[in-house]
Amino acid sequence: MMVNFSTFEENVARVRERIAAACEKSGRGNDEVRLLPVTKNHPAEAPLFAARCGFAAVGENRVQETAEKRPAFEALAKTADLRWELIGHLQSNKAKKAVALFDRIQSVDSLDLVAKLDKACEAQGRAALPILLQANPGCDPAKFGTADLGTLKKLLEAVLATRHLQPEGFMCVAPIDDDSLLVAAKAFETLRDWRDRLAAEFALPLTELSMGMSHDLEPAIAAGSTMVRVGTALFGERVYL
Ligand SMILES: *Cc1c(COP(=O)(O)O)cnc(C)c1O
């Protein structure tokens, strides 16, 4: 069940304290890390709560769910003033729908998807689609994205050769290890290193590092995360019916 609004506000304060403490510990400024509320598996009230708390964007992981939730939110909020980011795996046959629905796509992970997204932008007259490349620096077989820097470089080259895709950085989901955050920390450090190398090689900023969730945002921030994607710690446990 989703939390009520006052609990959500308390949770936002608590997560912001965690972010501030993690920034402090690694000598980073508080304003270097943004919080993206993840509203997946929750009703249209979840993005409404986020908008009421002043958040500019939310994260969702499914095209179909967002196709229903975004208009429901806009009817409730009486505004369309919220950005929607896709953080879940995108099948290339849903590229058209995703381009029509999302302000940014964080989960670009294949050459085929790059080509289909660019084609959909062209067809829909969308000049620019901001994207992140999803990688799998922890080599977790259960995660999407490449675990190989050479392959990630080829993907970036393909994005740079498109007319409409604008690469802003990278995203990853770390492997889960219930006993220790060291495995997650290592994955985050690897992605940060890959970003630094590719940014230098291509002389691009690639500033966004979308890393860290409810349980591992501290090691992500220590490794250089600029955006933590948080669902459970803000909205409560998701119920899968
Ligand atoms: C669900 C999800 C999150 C949020 O996870 P929590 O553990 O609920 O904070 C973050 N990133 C991605 C890619 C997700 O699918």
Domain residue ranges of the chain, discontinuous segments joined by +: 5-235
**pLDDT range class, residue 80, cuts 50, 70, 90:** confident
Separation of 228 CA from ligand 1 center, angstroms?
9
| pLDDT tens by residue, 202-214 | 999 999 999 999 9
The residue assigned the tokens 């933590």 is 228
Instruction: Give the closest residue (by CA) to ligand 1 atom 12.
Output: 87
Q: Which residues of 75-94 are buried (b: 16+ CB within 10 A; e: fewer)?
A: eeeeeeebebbbbbbbebeb
Q: What is the mean pLDDT of the chain?
A: 97
- Ligand 1 atom closest to the CA of 87, numbered from 1: 13
- Ligand 1 atom closest to the CA of 215, numbered from 1: 7
Pocket test for ligand 1, best of 18, 35, 60, 87 (most atoms within 8 A of CB): 87
* Separation between Cα atoms, residue 235 and residue 136, nearest integer Å: 26
> What pLDDT is attached to residue 241?
64
* Separation between Cα atoms, residue 168 and residue 90, nearest integer Å: 18
Strand locations in the chain (E): 34-37, 57-60, 83-86, 104-108, 129-134, 165-171, 208-210, 227-230
Fold topology of 5-235: TIM Barrel (3.20.20)
Average pLDDT of the residues in 157-176? 97
Separation of 231 CA from ligand 1 center, angstroms?
6
Separation of 209 CA from ligand 1 center, angstroms?
15
